[in-house]
Amino acid sequence: MLWISFFNDIDLFFILKSRSELSGLKKEVRDLKEKNEKAIVALEELTSNGRSMEKFARETYYMKRDNEEVFVFKERAD
């Protein structure tokens, strides 16, 4: 039992470290799936609704209509 726990290539510390890494990777997969679902919903909204496409273009790329002025205010990083 002592040999298996501490001196073998796959010892107790390796197993605990692997389990920790596995749980971290599983959490990362859950987070990425959630972000993917949100992106799919946003894409569906953009492709189906003209107003949301206009809003996205105006906010992201600062696009404007011919008779408008666009002012961009950014916060200072103090």
pLDDT per residue of the chain (78 residues) written in tens, 0 to 9: 666 666 677 777 888 999 999 999 999 999 999 999 999 998 998 889 888 888 888 888 888 888 888 887 888 886
Asked if 29 contacts 39 with a C-beta cutoff of 8 angstroms, the reply is no
Residue 39: other Cβ atoms inside 10 A: 10
Asked if 72 contacts 62 with a C-beta cutoff of 8 angstroms, the reply is yes
User: How many Å apart are CA 36 and CA 18, to the nearest integer?
Assistant: 26
| DSSP alpha helix (H) spans, 49-69 | 50-61
Type and span of the H or E element at 8: none
pTM for the whole structure = 0.61
